[in-house]
Chains A and B, each alone.
Chain A
Amino acid sequence: MFEGGIILSKKRAFLFMLPALAFVAVFLIFPAIWAIYIGLTNEALTGIYGLNHQFVWFDNFIKAFKDPWFHSSLQISFKFVFGSLVGQAGLGLLLALLLNNKKGILKELVSNIVIIAWIVPGVVVAYLWVAFLDKDFGLLNSILGILGFARVNWFRTLPVGVIIIFNTWRGTAFSMLLFMAALQSIPPSYLETADVIGASGWRKFRDIIIPLIKPQILTDLILLTLWTFNVFTPFILTKGGPAHMTEILPIYTYRVAFMGTGRIGQGAAISTIILLINLTLALIYLKMLKRK
C-alpha cells in the first residue's frame, strides 16, 4: 500500500498543500512576524530613514506608550467595541427572538434588509450614513425637523455614538443569523411545557432560552470583539475626526504609519500591540471552541 494512505501518498499530499501553504506563509504568517522586527527599527516612508533605517530597540514602544493619542485611541476603540457589542448582540438577539417561529413575508423582509446592510460594500455604507446624518440635508434631521426638533450636527455632538450606531447597523446581521440558528436548535417541547405551567415570556427567556444558547452568545461576543476591534470602515465615515474624536486604534495606526512623514517603524510597533491583543482574543476563542 501507499505510505500515508491509500487515496493520497504522503508526497502527493504535500504537493497538494504546497501552493496554499506558500501563499499563507508569505502573505499572512511572515508579515505578522516581520511586524515585530520593523517595530524595532526607525524605518520611515520619507526622509533619511526611508533609505537607511537603524535598529532602535524598544524606542517605538516607549514612544507609543508616551503618546497621548495612542491612549485616547485605545480608549475610543474600547468604547467603540463595547458599544457595538451591546448594539449588535442585543439587536441580533432581539430580532432572532421576534422572528423565531414567524414565517412568510415578514420574516423574509426583515431579515433580508438586515442582511443587505451587512453585505453591501463598506464604502457605500459609509456614504449612506454621511447622507443620512448630514446636518443640513440628511434624512434624519429632516424627519426630526418635521417632528419639531432642532437640527443636530451628529458628527460633532455624538462622534463615538455615530460610529457605534453605524457599525451596529452594518454588523447586526451576523448576530441575528447566529441566534436564529441557535433558537432553532431549542426543542419546541421545552417552551411548550413552560407554556402549560403558565410561565411568562420573561421567565421563558431567562430560564430556558438564555441557558440553552449560552455557548452561541459567548461565541458571538468574542468574535464580535475581535472583528470590531479590527474594523477600518469608520475611517471612510469620519477620517477619525472631528479632532481625532473617532480615531480608533486602526485609524491611529494608519495615520502614524502612512500620513505625514510616514513613521513605518512606529506604525509597526503599534501593529505588534494590535497583534498581541488579537492573539489574546483568539486564544480565548479557540479554547472555547475546544471545550465545545
Chain B
Amino acid sequence: MVFRQRTNLWNNFWIYLILFTLVLFFILPMIWLVIAPFSSKASLAVKITLPSLNNFRELFKNKVAMLAFKNSFIISFSSTIIVTITSMLAAYALSRTNFKWRSTLLYALLLFSTVVTGIAAMVPLFVLNLRLGLIDSYLSVIFVFIGGFLPVSIFIIKDFFDAIPKDYEEAAIVAGSTPSQGFFRIILPLSQQGMVVIALYIFMNTWGDFLIPFILLRSVNKYPVSVAIYTFFTQEGLPLLGLLSAYSLLYSLPVIVLYIIINRKFGFGFHGGLKG
C-alpha cells in the first residue's frame, strides 16, 4: 500500500508539472493584452509601469476606432437577427414535415456548408458583390455572413425542434388553434435556450471575422474593428501600440463576456459537434 501511494504522489507530480507547462504556454502570450493597455508607455514588451488610462482616453477620442465599433455592431447584430429568424422558420419546416427531397436537401446543406468556406469562395464572393453593386456596403458583408452561417444554424435549431414531441402541436391544433399559434405558444417557449445559444454563437463568430469585411469593404469609415485594427497596425504601427492594445482589449471584451454568460447559464460544452 505504501508503495502504491508513493507512485501516486510521483504520478501526481508529473501531472501537475505538465499541466503547469501547458498553462504557461497558453497564458504567456495573453499577458501583453492585460498589461499593455494600462501602461503609460506601451511597447511590445511586457513591462509593468504606473497604471494609466491614457490609452483608453486616446482610443475614445479616435473617431475611426469608435466608428468601427459601431460598424462591427451593425454587421454582427443584423446578421445574427436575420440568421436566427430565417433558420428558425426553415428548421421548423424541416422538423415538422416530411417531403420527398427532405433528406437530399439536408445532405446538400451539410455538404455545401462544409465545402464552401470563406477561403474557398473569397474570389467568387468578391465578384458576385461587385456585379450586384454591393462592394463597400454593410449589406455585402451581412449577406455573406447570413449565407455562411444559415446551414449550421438550421441544423442546430432543427435538433432542438426534433426533441419537442409533435403531439403538443397536434393536440393544440385538434383543440382548435392555428399552426402559427402552435409555433409561437408551444415551440418557441420550449426552444428559447437553443435560440439564445445560436444567436450568441453567430454574434461571436461574425464579431471576430476578418477575411470577409477585409475583402468586401473599401472605405475606412465602414470597417469593422477587425479590419480597423489591422489597418492601424500596418499603417501606423509602433507609435500607436498603446491605443492598439487598449483597442484589442475592448474589442475582445464582448466575446469574453458572452462566453462567461453562456458558460454560467448553459454550460459550455458540446452539442452535436459544435460549440454552443
Q: Which residues of A contact B (CB under 8 A)?
A: 4-10, 12-14, 16-17, 19-21, 23-24, 26-32, 34-35, 38, 43, 91, 94-95, 98-99, 106, 109-110, 112-117, 119-124, 127-132, 134, 136-140, 142-143, 169, 172, 174, 177-178, 180-181, 201, 219, 226, 230-233, 236, 250, 253-254, 257-258, 264, 267-268, 270-271, 274-275, 278-279, 282-283, 285-286
Contacts and interface: CB of A to CB of B under 8 A. Distances in A.
B170 A7 contact: yes
B46 interface: yes
B123 A137 contact: no
A68 to B, nearest CB: 21
Contact of A17 (B25, B29, B93, B128): B93
Contact of B269 (A34, A113, A181): A181
Interface in B77-109: 86-87, 89-90, 92-94, 96-99, 107, 109
A204 B68 CA distance: 53
Given A4-B99, A38-B124, A201-B11, A32 B115 contact: yes
Contacts of B244: 127
Interface stretch (B54-62, B190-198, B205-213): B205-213
Contact of B255 (A28, A98, A119): A119
Given A27-B125, A110-B23, A127-B244, A132 B29 contact: yes
Nearest to A117: B26
Contacts of A38: 123-124, 127
Nearest to B148: A28
B230 interface: yes
Nearest to A39: B123
A123 B229 contact: yes
Given A181-B270, A201-B11, A24 B112 contact: yes
A149 to B, nearest CB: 16
B113 interface: yes
B154 to A, nearest CB: 6
Interface of B: 11, 15, 18-19, 22-23, 25-33, 36, 43-46, 86-87, 89-90, 92-94, 96-99, 107, 109-128, 143-144, 146-148, 150-151, 154, 166, 169-170, 173, 179, 182, 204, 207-211, 215, 225-226, 229-230, 233, 244, 248, 251-252, 255-256, 259, 263, 268-270, 273, 275
B26 A113 contact: yes
Contact of A286 (B110, B173, B225): B110
A12 B256 CA distance: 40
Given A8-B96, A19-B90, A117-B30, 15 more contacts: A5-B96, A7-B170, A8-B93, A110-B22, A112-B263, A123-B225, A124-B252, A128-B32, A140-B28, A169-B29, A174-B275, A264-B127, A268-B123, A278-B114, A283-B111
Contacts of B209: 122
A5 B92 CA distance: 13
Contact of B93 (A13, A129, A134, A250): A13
Contact of B22 (A94, A138, A233): A94
B182 A128 contact: no
B128 A275 contact: no
A30 B132 CA distance: 13
B275 to A, nearest CB: 7
A250 B96 contact: no
12 contacts: A13-B96, A27-B144, A34-B124, A113-B23, A117-B30, A127-B229, A131-B29, A132-B28, A136-B44, A177-B268, A257-B122, A275-B116
- Select the residue from A12, A119, A286 with max chain B CB neighbours within 10 A: A119
A146 to B, nearest CB: 12
A282 B111 contact: yes
Given A21-B90, A268-B124, A29 B116 contact: yes
Given A32-B120, A32-B121, A123 B115 contact: no
Contacts of A91: 22
Which 4 A-B pairs have CB atoms at the shortest separation, nearest pair first? Answer: A27-B147, A121-B208, A20-B90, A31-B124
A259 to B, nearest CB: 12
A233 B226 CA distance: 11
Given A94-B18, A137-B44, A7 B116 contact: no
A286 to B, nearest CB: 7
Contacts of B98: 4-5
A110 to B, nearest CB: 6
A128 B27 contact: no
Nearest to B258: A119
A91 B22 CA distance: 8
A34 B120 CA distance: 12
Nearest to B114: A282
Contacts of B263: 112
Contacts of B154: 20
B44 A131 contact: yes
B11 A219 contact: no
